[in-house]
Amino acid sequence: MYDRSSRQKQTQEYFTQPTEIEEILNHWTNEDFKLEQTWIDTSCGTGNILEGIYKNLLKYHTKEKILNDLLFGCDYEIDNMIETIQRLYGKEKIDVLTEEDIPKHMKANGLFACFLYNNSLITNFVCCDSTKYPLNFGRKTKPKLFGNGLFEIEN
């Protein structure tokens, strides 16, 4: 692993604090988490906010439904995405796919890494430049941002 404090100084990353996550999550009600809408964090870091959303979604949906259809995230740092995936999926083996190893259906402008978790391709957590990546996460339809833009997308 890496020394987070020195990397933060070098990259100017800011990791969302628990009090801030609580404030963000308080913008939604239980009814919001019951819906089968998808949620996206386009600069998820190590997944602090996604983990909070995940815990709320678990009250109403299965883990498989959440991780396959409802929760999406991307970040520029590979180490951050690995930590995010481990927080949401577990500590199994994660392989990083870059350049020619990225599956053809996922290749897009701005995408530079995707991941295998326990030898299964993860399509909704990727490393990309989110200003260039089309945020369709290798799917046929592009999710549409709505509302205040905070992490929610609609199929």
Q: Are strands 120-128 and 152-154 parallel, antiparallel or unpaired?
A: unpaired
Average pLDDT over residues 35-57: 92
Name the residue with higher pLDDT: 38 or 9: 38
Residue at 66: amino acid letter: I
Residue 5, classed as helix, strand or coil, is helix
Q: 64-93: per-residue pLDDT in tens?
A: 999 999 999 999 999 999 999 999 999 999
Q: 135-155: per-residue pLDDT in tens?
A: 778 776 655 544 344 444 444
**116 to 4, 22, 81, 112, 128: CA distances (angstroms):** 24, 30, 12, 14, 16
Q: What pTM, to 2 d.p., does this model score?
A: 0.81
Could you give the CA distance from residue 132 to residue 148 in angstroms, rounded to a whole number? 20
Check pLDDT > 90 for residue 105: no
Structure tokens at 4: 């987070």
Could you give the CA distance from residue 107 to residue 52 in angstroms, rounded to a whole number? 29
Position 18 confidence tier, pLDDT thresholds 50, 70, 90: confident
- Average pLDDT over the chain reads 85
